[in-house]
Structures are given as structure tokens and as C-alpha cells.
Structure 1
Amino acid sequence: MDGNSSKVAAGVPEASVPAIDRLTPVLERFRVQASLFHAGPLCGHQVFDAQPGRGFLHVLRRGEMDMLHRDGSRMARLHLCEPTLLLFPRAVHHEFINPPVDGSDFTCATLDFDGGARNPIVQSLPDVIALPLEKIEGLGATLDLLFAESDQVRCGSRLLANRLFEVVLIQVLRWIIDHPDEARVSQGMMMGLSDPRLAKALIAVHEAPDADWTLARMATQAGMSRSAFAAAFKAATGTTPAAYSLDWKLNVAASLLRAGRSVKQVALDMGFADAPALSRAFRRRTGASPREWRAQHRPGAG
């Protein structure tokens, strides 16, 4: 039973239970860009190589196929026989094996997450998530619009299809927060956001990364004792509250550096005492100074 359900069961009117937006503070800081690259049948053997920083979102509309994907040192196989959404949040080699003539019908997009593999959403998801389309409430209407735009060329159709793919991703992430076990999410930010108590503290940290987030302050946000909060937080996210808040602060700092902010300004914006303090924390986390890291991650680098 989630936090809202328990309040309703306790006699609190449903209308008085405050809703919280767990995704917007994250997606506003770390954006994702979808790009449609295929709409229609796929026949035979298709290979999607792992590309650093790139994910994939495939929608199997019709047909039956086998999917192979890299799982550690082996290739795992999954047979799909119903309309299914396949989310690869990070660079993972995968292959589709379809009939050689009458292949399955797909609509596919690449996903570029701000921060690549260090994007906090990417870090908290498994390598692949396969969801029958019927599981996600409300997804059908979005997919109808997406298929209508991707199936024919009209003014702005590709741009609109890209935006609709991003809407689909948000709907999937919303479903994952509500069903972490089914999505095979065990630890990380998404698991923390699935807990109504921890989510309050996480949202506060996400919205104000420059603040001094002590254990006591985060526990107060969650409405829990410090010891209970620390234990629940570690179990859900796999890290301590202090490590999480610092990691979030540095993730946001990295996004600001990529956007062209100066090291001095980023240090000021993120609540560090000065630029050297940011540089020390940044080097401990990434192995590079902010200036070195920015040179390595500028557009076209490498």
C-alpha cells in the first residue's frame, strides 16, 4: 500500500492527500532527447551496437520476434509475441531476430540522456526493460499520435514524433516509479522515489542542490527519525544520504559546466565555499578537475 492509499484507509479524504511530482525536478536538470530513426517492418537480423551515452526506445507494434541483448559476459534471449515497449537506457548491444520476409512492425528512437551514463535516471535503471504496452495506463493515446506522425511525412512530423517519444519515456518512468519490482529496479534514485517518505526528501534535494543537506534535515523532510531514515535510504538507494546529496550536487555542477558556466560561477551556484572546493570534490568523484572534465565532454570531444 502506498502513502496515499494508507492515508485514505486511515480516513483522510482522498482529495486532501497532497500529490508530489517526483520526476519533473530530475528531468528539468537532466534532459533527454529522443530521435526517431525507424518506422515500419524489420526483417531478418538487426544489430544495434552499443554507443557510449546513447540509449534506445523501441516499440514493437505488431509481430513476433526474438531479442538478444548483452547481459554481462553472455547474450540473453527474450521471445516477444505481443506489442511491447523495449527501453535500453544505456549503451547495450542488442539484436532483433525477425522473420526474413514478413518482419515485425517497429517504431524506434535513439535516446540521448544529458550526462550519458552518469545521468541519475540511467544509473538507477536496469540495462533493458521490456513492458507489454497494455501494462502502462494511458500510453495508448500517446502511441496513437506517435504512430500517426511517424507513419507519414508531413510538416514537422519528425520533430513532433521526437517529442512524442519523450512523452512516452516520461510515461514509462512514471510507471517504473509505481512498479519498481516489475521493472526489476532494486536500488538507486528511482527506487528511492518509489517510497513516498523518501521521495519527499529526494525531491527537496533535487530542487535545491545548493542547500546544506544534513542527515537531520533530510530526515525531517521525510517525516522520519534520523536512524530510520538513514537505514531506509541506504536500503533503497544503495548509498548514504550524505553521499547522495553530494553526488547530486556534483551531477548538477557537471551539467552546468557542459552548458558553459564558469567553474567559479558553478561553485557559487552549487553552494561550495569557492572554486577550489568544487575542484577538489569534483576531482575525487571524476578523477579530473572541472576544466579537464569539461574539455573531455565538450560537444565533439573524442
Structure 2
Amino acid sequence: MAKSKKEQISNKPFFIRKNRCVSLKLFPLNLNPMFSQTKLKQEVVVLKAVILTAGLGTRLLPATKETPKVLLPIFALGKNKKLCVKPVLQLVFEQLYDVGFREFCFVVSSRVRRAVKNHFTPDRDFLRYLKEINKQEQADELRQFYNKVNNSTIVFTNQPKPRGTGDAVRRVKNFTGNDVFLLHMGDDLILSKDENSHLKRLMKVFRERNADVAFLAARVKDPTIYGVIAGKQVSAELHEVKTIVYQPKIPPSNISDVTAYMLKPNIYPEIKKVKPMEKSGEISLIPAIQSLIDKGGKVYAVELRRGEKRID
């Protein structure tokens, strides 16, 4: 028996945002930088991004006592390439938006949830007030940000305690479902001269190499405090990862995973196997990535280019 129109509508996927049902935005593959035009045009893909914001930012105390690290301001180029001040998290969101992402999940703690939600809630009354006091330039900058927020679907997932990246990722499974997704640190920003080239390169490698995992990487001064990779150098900027270890006493290289990762849903079973670290109780993402490698999974590291600046 044919379903009624009401029943058909109710079966559409949706997220709740601002008391509205928002249908998932689907992008034709031939219009999307994640996929080549050789794919069937009838196929669609949901571009999903997970942004981690629940960290305590203890290195920056006392500045982060009341202001979450992800909302600390930095100078940036805004509308019409004019200098302005924006929170790091907003810049991360805008970079992802500008390369095509429209579905966002913020992983938050109770400590940062209110501040993050408030920042990503458009305030039209404030815009009108700025106009009344002749702050049109600032109003235009906020309006541009609000337009991007309104064109996106944004949901929040709680991480009660900062128990590591692996713990954060396993909490977003209901959001990502069976889709590939991008994981981005909310307090870690890459500034690229070429219009978010770092994200485009990451997405391209993930697609063209049919990778299970691809992540950005950088050469660091002290690799003993990071995740460190070893493997085969494919090109000047690309490494096929054979080993990745967290905070090694004897690092196999000085190349560390940073900032952003493209992941497939096959990461979830591997995260389940990861044991919490003895001292911190954190669940790292790195052992799950190594587990995929051990099973024959393809993992690639995309090195930052000279001139690309990392802010964390």
C-alpha cells in the first residue's frame, strides 16, 4: 500500500536546530570537490564535519578560565579582505563551509556548550543595534557569518570529560552514520595563502587514493609530545603511513598528525578496541588508526606546505 504524503515526509532524515526540522542537504557528486565527475551523477553525498571543542585549554590559563580556548580571538581577514578579529572556532567553521561542508557536529563539554551555542546563534537584534550606532562594517561582518550558520545544519554532542580524541569521535557515530566525515580540532587552525589549499589537498588525497584515513601532518620540534608517523614518502608532501605512535620515547620521525582528518565509518570498530591510557584515562584515536593499518587499511599523511601557518 502506498504511503501517504505525511508518512513519506516523516521518514526523511533531519536534525533539530533552533526548534526547526532541517532536511539534510545533499550535494551532487559532480559539483562536489570530494568526488570526481566520473561518478554517477545520480549519486549524492552528505558532507559532514565534526569539530572538537571540549578541551580545557589549560596551557593558556588564566585566559581560558572563563573564555573557552576555541573562542579566543585572533586577527583575520574578513569581508572585503579587511582586518578584523574572530574566534578561532569561527575561522575553522568558515574554512570548512567555504570548501563545501554544510553538516556540522560540535563536540562540547558542559563548560563550553553555552558559549559555543551562543556564538553560533544569529542575533538579529544586535545587528539592528550595530546599524543604529553606525557600526555598519561590523554588522556586515556578522551578517555574513550568520548567513553561513543559517545555511548549515549544526548539532551538538556532549563529551562530559575531556577523555581524548578517540572518545570524542565515538560519540558522534549517530551523526556520521555510514558516511565519510572530516574531523577538525576546534582550537587548531591552518592559515593557507591559497584559499584553504590544505583542506582541498586533504580531501583530494582521501578521494583519489581511496584512503581509509587521511590527515594533515607537520614537522615538529619535539615529536615526543605528539602522534608521530613513519612510512613511505610518496611525494614531497605525501606519505603513505605504515606506523603511527602516540608520544613515543624514541620517535621514528619528526612528522606529526595535526589539525584535520578524513575518516570512514570503519574507524568506529577500531576505536572500541582502544584501551584508556593509564595516567590520563584518555582514549586516543591513534591506536585505532594503527589498527586499520595492521588490517591492510590505507592511511596517508598530507604535509603542510612551506608558508602554511598552524595556530594552536
Same fold (TM over 0.5): no
Flag the structure with higher strand content.
Answer: 2
TM-score relative to the length of structure 2: 0.29
The structure whose residues are more often helix, as a share, is 1
The normalised TM-score by structure 1 is 0.30
* Structure ranking higher on relative contact order (CA contacts 8 Å, 6+ apart): 2
